[in-house]
Amino acid sequence: MTDTPPKAPEPLTGHALIADYVRRLDGSPGVYRMLDGEARVLYVGKARNLKARVSNYARPSGHSARIARMISETRSMMFLTTRTETEALLLEQNLIKQLKPVYNVLLRDDKSFPNILIAKNHAYPQIRKHRGKRSDKGSYFGPFASGSAVNRTLNQLQKVFLLRSCTDSMFQNRTRPCLLYQIKRCAGPCTNLITPEAYADLVSDAERFLSGKTSHIQADLAQQMQEASDAMEFERAAALRDRIRALTAVQQSQGINPKGVDEADVIALHLEKGQACVQVFFIRAHQSWGNRDFYPRTGSGAEEAEILSAFLAQFYDGKPPPRQILLSHPVDDEDLIRDLLSARAGRNVDLRVPQRGEKAELVENALRNARESLGRKMSESAAQSRLLSGLADAFGLDDPPNRIEIYDNSHIQGAHAVGAMVVAGPDGWMKSQYRKFTIKTAPGDDFGMMREVLTRRFDKLLKEDPARQTEAWPDLLLIDGGAGQITAVTETLAALGIDDIPAVGVAKGVERDLGREEFHRKGARPFALRHNDPVLYFIQRLRDEAHRFAIGTHRAARAKASTRTPLDEIPGVGAGRKRALLAHFGSAKAVTRAGLGDLMAVPGISEQMARTIHGFFNEGS
């Protein structure tokens, strides 16, 4: 009789697994990760004391439904210790942004916010919109909620303060004032129609206004208008009257103008049925500079305090926090969040949940906007969900797609050929996921262009995520084209070892009429949807968005090509040296004829670079 080998013990899961990890942990601060059976990260958390924090998950009861689900799915954990809890918080936020765990709160909109810049690298400072790092010398004012909010304010400020908006290159090459001077939106410094001292006064007034000191400016303008009127300089008085009206229009357009709040962000959260909207109002210089709504992923059911805490840590990653942040709800780890934001700002940042007065009214206004925005969003999401379900039924998909990628190409007889990819999902357009492709191998061949675009797209995706664990993989491909394009697509994907992503070609019917589109799939006969089917209109919108993006990309490529000069081909001549050469010589053609000594006289052009430029245009000399 043979002995039966001992049965292998069942692998630990859930509470028992976590309890086993706890025995090997100490009280260091750090970050922990909870993973499922396929090594996908479920949750990233930070702790002042890893042993104490993780031991909470080892309890068999007392958890919310969200945490209980997360624990039950956990099959392994990872740990990384840090020196301080603040370091752990920073590491946690970086990992959340990188890994996008399903049970973490995630801010999905990380766009930068525009500012107004009064550039100080010129005798006559320029006023303009600015995004990104504050690396240019000058005075920055912001953030504004959107580019349109900046543009509206700049439009009014030009009427009031007459500051130039032209580039330095355009400024240096003017021989007569431009249209903006004629319509009284610029003082004309390019042709010496204003003295440097008088222009400096305009700059100072603009900075005072953007800093909230408006009353003195309005009073000064009113006094100047009266003096001009008394001196019977009626044209000048009328111009000053127009500037006062423009200044009033700027102040009225700001909407909310709190007297007791100089600088603050007002952040309010409304949570309903597991969905959240965070409304942010930017208050600067006692003026409202617009608002923006955000819809963070709630980590499958997080509460207000956790959502707001995660939002603050992620929202101010790369953005300077204001001196005060007014909140609708208390946040988790308030002291830790305050220390983190203060470190990022380089000064103290005050977090406050106001209960009465003007600040409480600002929060209530933001909260009302958040509630209304979420209501609209949920209504739109329900309609989008119905369309995605209809799309799945029309194309025989197992489930409604979470990510649809739509592809189109654009060129003119093979010139400036580009490919474009747009992305849509349950929340609508995913514009941060759009991609452009400059065609390198097959311009003019529509099928070859599509093969190149898909090869580059999915070859990169396979290298970045070979296990296909992220949300970057599409559930459906829509291709602008018919049977030929679908053949090219399926062959390209098959060559990459991908055979489980459905692809549908959207082609106009025999009469090429809108509304008579035919849909092509591999191994199936073409078919059409009824003329008034909402799903048909949805597919048309998807296809049209891809076409719009492709055409825009193609036009941008053509426009860029039209401005290219021989200087672009010279090794070592970048944008800065190109500007310096054009400003010095007036044209690229003049640079090609310049002597070595003339080139060396250009600011920023060394003797070696001058020889390189001269040799490029004078081979053998």
CATH of the domain at 600: 1.10.150.20
- The DSSP line for 253-312 is HT----SS-SEEEEEEEEEETTEEEEEEEEEETTEEEEEEEE--EETTT--HHHHHHHHH
43 plus 88 within the same structural domain: yes
Q: Give residue 407's pLDDT.
A: 94
The answer to whether 57 and 72 have CB atoms below 8 angstroms apart is no
349 plus 413 within the same structural domain: no
Q: What is the pTM of this model?
A: 0.72
Tokens 């993780």 map to which residue?
A: 54
> Is 260 among the domain residues?
no
Element at 446 (helix H, strand E) = helix 446-464
The answer to whether 42 and 36 have CB atoms below 8 angstroms apart is yes
User: Domain with 83 in it: what CATH number?
Assistant: 3.40.1440.10
Give dist(CA 323, CA 302) in Å, integer.
28
Given 340, 358, 376, the domain boundary residue is 376
User: Domain with 498 in it: what CATH number?
Assistant: 3.30.420.340
The answer to whether 562 and 584 have CB atoms below 8 angstroms apart is no
232 plus 131 within the same structural domain: yes
Residue 484: both structure tokens together:
């030929």
369 plus 470 within the same structural domain: no
230 plus 137 within the same structural domain: yes
Given 547, 581, 607, the domain boundary residue is 547
122 plus 170 within the same structural domain: yes
> Is 358 among the domain residues?
yes
Give tens-digit pLDDT for 189-213.
Answer: 999 999 999 899 889 888 888 877 6
> Is 3 among the domain residues?
no
365 plus 428 within the same structural domain: no
493 plus 584 within the same structural domain: no
> What burial class does residue 359 get, using C-beta atoms within 10 Å of its C-beta: 0-12 exposed, 13-18 middle, 19+ buried?
buried
Domain count, the chain: 5
> Is 9 among the domain residues?
no
Rg (CA), the chain: 30
99 plus 127 within the same structural domain: no
366 plus 453 within the same structural domain: no
State how far the alpha carbon of 511 is from the alpha carbons of 517, 518, 572, 574, in Å.
10, 11, 54, 50
Q: Give residue 1's pLDDT.
A: 47
Nearest-CA neighbor of 293 among 396, 180, 235, 378?
378
120 plus 241 within the same structural domain: yes
Its domain, for residue 612, covers 566-617
Give dist(CA 58, CA 68) in Å, integer.
11
Given 488, 516, 547, the domain boundary residue is 547
> Is 171 among the domain residues?
yes
> Is 261 among the domain residues?
no
> Is 434 among the domain residues?
yes
Q: Which residues does the chain have with pLDDT short of 50? A: 1, 512, 621
Give tens-digit pLDDT for 274-300.
Answer: 889 999 999 887 888 888 999 998 888
> What value, to the nearest 5°, has the Cα angle with vertex 164 and ends 158 and 168?
155
Q: Give residue 214's pLDDT.
A: 64
Q: Is 77 helix (H, G, I), strand (E, B) or coil?
A: strand
> Is 390 among the domain residues?
no
What amino acid is encoded at 78 in this protein?
Answer: M
Q: Is the dihedral of CA 494, 496, 500, 506 positive or negative?
A: negative
Q: Give residue 227's pLDDT.
A: 80
The answer to whether 312 and 318 have CB atoms below 8 angstroms apart is no
130 plus 82 within the same structural domain: no
